[in-house]
Structures are given as structure tokens and as C-alpha cells.
Amino acid sequence: MTKCPSWLTEKWTTVYIETFLHRIREDYLDTKLRLSKGINEINWYMDHARYNVDPTYLIKAHTAETDYYKLLNEHLASVKGTEADWSDRGKWYIVRIMCTHPALDRFSFTGMSYQRGTFTENQFTVGSLIMNKVFLSTSKDRQVLEQAAADEQSAMYIFEIRKHGSAMDIESISEYPQEKEILIHPFCVFKVVSIKCNSIHNEVEIELRQNKADKNCCIQ
């Protein structure tokens, strides 16, 4: 990533979060997401976040069953690390609030979390580093994921989150608390520790350990 602009790294005040939320509505929700599924529900969450100066509403918005979180992740995944990426401020205001606002620090999580996904041969190699560019939904309870049937290309991704402020335990504020969700922030770097076959569950297990010294993203 290129150097962060000052508007993304300044210290938090009440004025800033209100300003950010106003710009999120005008520059992002009312433009790029205007016709998306569930946008009225998302606007409701954002309005309440602004009026109550409460960033937890952004977490609720992210877990709501709408197209919002999918489109936000698509836009983040398209980031190439150039100066031009910072010009689209709407999505960065969302990232800034969710990743760094002090009111959300109490939800910070370190430990193990899990995600069921697909895997193809030679997709990863042991010892390589990978960067997560989106908000990654995982669970702190492996059994929640094991209830879903595995297939021939199924993989269990095991994340070891080691850095404070790089993931949140959002079970208590999620719209779906039974998922016991851990939300990993964008631009975390993980090392592939091991890749092995679990014959009992008929799936590949991929262990990923966070690089604590990573400084690739200034918003963490």
C-alpha cells in the first residue's frame, strides 16, 4: 500500500466520526450502492451510527443479510495499492471506523478462528505470505462450520490472529450471534504454516499464522 493520506490517520474525535458517516452516505451508499439489495436497511444503520455517535451500528450493518458487505468487499478486493485508490474515500471511511475507532477496541480478538472454503492444488505453498484484502468472516467455533457438509474441494482455513486490533469478536453485536463470528480486518498478512489432509473430515486443513510485525497498512 502507498502512504496513507492525513485524513485517514488523524486522531479520533466526535466530529470526525460524524463527518465520516456523512461522507459514507453521500460518497458511497448514495452512489455506488444506491440500487443494491437492502440499501434502505443499511442507510438506517448508518443514520443511527451518526445520530448516536455509535460505530457498533456499522458492525450490525456488515452482518445484515444484504448486498452491502459483499459489494464493500468487492471494492476492497480491487485495490491495487496505488495513489488513485485513496480517491474513492467512501469505502476507506468505513474501513477506518471499523478497524480503528476506540469504541470498538473492546471487541478486539486474538486467538484461533476458522473459515470453511475451497482449495485447489498448488493454491498455496508452506512458508509463503498472503494478504487478506477484505473483511474476512470467520468463526471462533470450529464446530459451527463442521456442521456444513464437506466436499472434494473443501478446506478448513485455520487463522492464528496474533495482533491486537486486527480482528473483532462480534458475536454480541452481530445480527447472527449463533455464528460466533470473528471479523478479520483487511490488509492483515498471514504466513502459511502447514497444509495437510484431514481424512476424518474429508477436507484439507490450511494453517495461517498472522505476521505480528506486519506494517503494510497504516489503518491497523
pLDDT digits (tens, 9 = 90+) for 174-187: 988 999 999 999 98
C-alpha cell at 86: 485513496
pTM of the predicted model, to two decimals?
0.90
Rounded distance between C-alpha atoms, residue 46 and residue 57, angstroms? 7
Rounded distance between C-alpha atoms, residue 61 and residue 72, angstroms? 11
The percent of residues in the chain predicted with pLDDT above 90, rounded, is: 66
User: Which pLDDT value is given to residue 213?
Assistant: 73
Rounded distance between C-alpha atoms, residue 55 and residue 68, angstroms? 16
**8 A C-beta contact, residue 117 and residue 165:** no
User: Which pLDDT value is given to residue 100?
Assistant: 92
103-136 pLDDT per residue, tens: 999 999 999 999 998 888 788 899 999 999 999 9
If one looks up domain 108-210 in CATH, what number appears? 3.90.176.10
Residue 149 confidence class, pLDDT cut points 50, 70, 90: low
Residue 2 confidence class, pLDDT cut points 50, 70, 90: low
Domain residue ranges in the chain:
6-106, 108-210
